[in-house]
Chains A and B, each alone.
Chain A
């Protein structure tokens, strides 16, 4: 099935021996000049690329405290070195976070520090050249911006910040990943990462309505009339989900779940054809303006539709963009009546606690569920109001709708969670090797809990995680169907219809 070696599942995560260059050959396709031009970057690498590169770097050093400080203060203690899933899976030293950073730091020393300018090599400063640039392109696209390294760093140095900066610098000289910049372009022009136009969206949503109806009919429930309202002015809630929720499996089952929750709780809500995407690849490429433009659609739609609040669907980086960044990018949101954005899990758990939803746990009895903390939710945001709620809330929801829940090794959960291996703009097929390998630490833990407790449902609250794991599970010999969303479980268990008994 694969022309590379899929790691063996042993239930253990073992730090490998260092193997220089082991993942050097894995590279994303490069974006075409027309695309780069359309996105207002340099069309392609010209003869003056070095000057442009350094200008871009200087600009970023002036604008981002994180980059400036992180480049200066790393002591190369090595604490982060074996914490990256891509290093654990490949042994390539360039995938050690500190050594990934070194790609930028060596250039920083050469052109931006007195020692590097004076004594060059002795100060470990490196001259820019095509080779180095190629290494940048390889390894800054082998970072999923998951922030795991930062947790273990005595100064919280976050390689994701360096990666984002590096991608932006490269884009400004016209060197960029096709996959990421195409998605950014689609989101900017059409409003979603899939490039779906409004009519297509509407018919997809109708289809989902029919699906829900049919499934309910199969179990003998008729006439519930769960709707996916579109562009309804004056609805209380605007729901913004990753667009993958509209058609991909298992994403779509969570969409059904959200719709059913709103229906049962009697909340008036709407989707928007203008804001049809929660995801924001502007974040992955470290481009502030594009990120803001993409994010702006959500708040424009909220204003136009006169909703009371905005709720976000299951997606890790989308939640980061909405929760952490949108108030800065496009706030303040004083035109909304309620605290926004809210995470769908916050809303659902609230409703469960209020008794507004009736759940039949036995509907999920075929599943022994485990939960993977998505890194963007775990390490870049919170859900709820208290630190750590992002870990408890999804688990509480699962426990409210399932009888059998098991936890993977706690050393790999919560803030120490491993990335799925496909986040941060790595989710493209030409780099399937790094994706499959990068998933290895998480797969080991899943195989272990499968072995010991019979886990057979891998619950997620991230669209990229879902896409990544459904792709990767078969490589490890597991069924795609074991991967699913938290609201998929809710959807299964939610008792529809009249609410007298509640």
Chain B
């Protein structure tokens, strides 16, 4: 294993550790921070099952966005296509992480490829709306462009790897499998791969310290996950 490979193997573990520990520490922090009062935004479900039923369409279909006007419909389209294709792409990548490759990963290969193609279009919508809409232009911060550009770059280098600077997939797989089985091996000999891979590490490290934590937040937001039964069951404030 050459020096570069050693460095990247190490960086990969570091990034993974930051991601996992960072994410978990946020999860624990949120878990430990109490909700003194009942604050569900109503009409809200009166049972826990109801809460699950409330969350499912929020998570799968971004339901609240659909309550808005045209601006939100465009956002919905861009955002939903973005998230779904991102998920498909990640699932497709599982073939690099597994041996033998599970059937379901094989079965989504084709749709994963299509996802890779619509992905940039969705990102484009998400980026362009940020400077063409007057309100969005005001609220958008550097960090918002940063993460969009970062993900675009990951997607672009990924597409290049697939369609332009073709890389030896056997090497890629060996490298990734080496990482996940804790028996590090040689990096594939490809600059494009190196860039693609590095950007992903940046994303992993960035994730827990950024707004990307909405991925967890959507599951625990007190206004959405609380049961509306304050008269029936006394909600106890732990600090009062």
Contacts and interface: CB of A to CB of B under 8 A. Distances in A.
A151 B221 contact: no
A78 B133 contact: yes
Nearest to A99: B139
Interface string B133-173: 11110111111100000000000000000000000000000
A102 B231 CA distance: 34
B43 interface: yes
Given A69-B30, A386-B46, A387-B46, A78 B136 contact: yes
Contact of B33 (A62, A114, A158, A391): A62
Interface bin, chain A: 35 or more
A124 B147 CA distance: 14
B58 to A, nearest CB: 7
A63 B235 CA distance: 15
A77 interface: yes
A405 interface: no
A324 interface: yes
Interface string A320-347: 0001110111011000000111000000
Contacts of B144: 75-76
Contacts of B64: 79, 151-154, 156
Contact of B67 (A152, A158, A328): A152
A184 to B, nearest CB: 17
Contact of A79 (B58, B75, B228, B239): B75
Contacts of A340: 231
A440 B231 CA distance: 35
A415 interface: yes
A15 B218 CA distance: 28
B213 A77 contact: no
Nearest to A62: B33
B42 A328 contact: no
Contacts of A378: 42
Contacts of B189: none
A152 B72 contact: yes
Interface in A128-157: 147, 150-157
Contacts of B210: 115
Contact of A328 (B133, B134, B136, B234): B234
Interface of A: 15, 17-18, 61-66, 68-70, 72-79, 81-83, 93, 96, 98-99, 102, 113-115, 122-124, 147, 150-158, 161, 288, 292, 323-325, 327-329, 331-332, 339-341, 378-382, 385-388, 390-391, 415-416
26 contacts: A62-B33, A63-B33, A64-B33, A68-B30, A74-B211, A76-B211, A77-B79, A78-B135, A78-B136, A82-B135, A83-B68, A99-B139, A123-B143, A151-B64, A155-B221, A156-B221, A161-B223, A327-B235, A328-B234, A332-B234, A339-B231, A380-B41, A382-B42, A385-B46, A388-B43, A415-B41
Given A66-B39, A380-B39, 7 more contacts: A69-B222, A70-B221, A78-B75, A115-B210, A123-B143, A292-B240, A390-B42
